[in-house]
């Protein structure tokens, strides 16, 4: 499931909350953090089952589907991605 990206202005952060049930241990959390950072995302919080990331709305950034595809390719299962402007 995916929540549509809210309208944003170019100076605000766009935040995503990711539900990733395959984040179960320190190794998987570390690998997911590296993968998310390689996409240009700021990892605010990451723990078992969930991650919160942000990106400046004005920059080129991956869509929720792009994030899902990258995580899936990296061996993770993404249950849900929720986008929130802040």
Task: Tell me the domain boundaries of the chain.
Answer: 13-85
Q: What is the structure's pLDDT at 85?
A: 62
Phi-psi region of 49 (alpha: psi -120 to 50; beta: other; left: phi over 0): left
Q: How far apart are CA 49 and CA 9, in angstroms?
A: 30
CATH code given to domain 13-85 = 3.30.70.100
| Residue 63: pLDDT over 70 | yes
Distances (CA, A) of 41 to 15, 50, 75: 9, 15, 18
Q: Nearest Cα to 49, choosing from 69, 9, 77, 75? A: 77
Strand partners, 19: 50, 80
pTM above 0.95, yes or no: no
| Residue 14: pLDDT over 60 | yes
Q: What is the structure's pLDDT at 4?
A: 47
Do you know the residue count of the chain?
86
């Amino acid at each position: 499931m995916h929540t549509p990206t809210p309208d944003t202005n170019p100076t605000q952060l766009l935040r995503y909350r990711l539900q990733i049930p395959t984040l179960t241990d320190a190794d998987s959390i570390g690998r997911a953090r590296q993968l998310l950072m390689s996409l240009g995302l700021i990892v605010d919080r990451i723990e078992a089952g969930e991650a919160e990331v942000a990106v400046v709305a004005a920059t080129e950034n991956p869509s929720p589907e792009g994030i899902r595809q990258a995580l899936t390719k990296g061996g993770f299962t993404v249950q849900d991605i929720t986008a929130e402007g802040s």
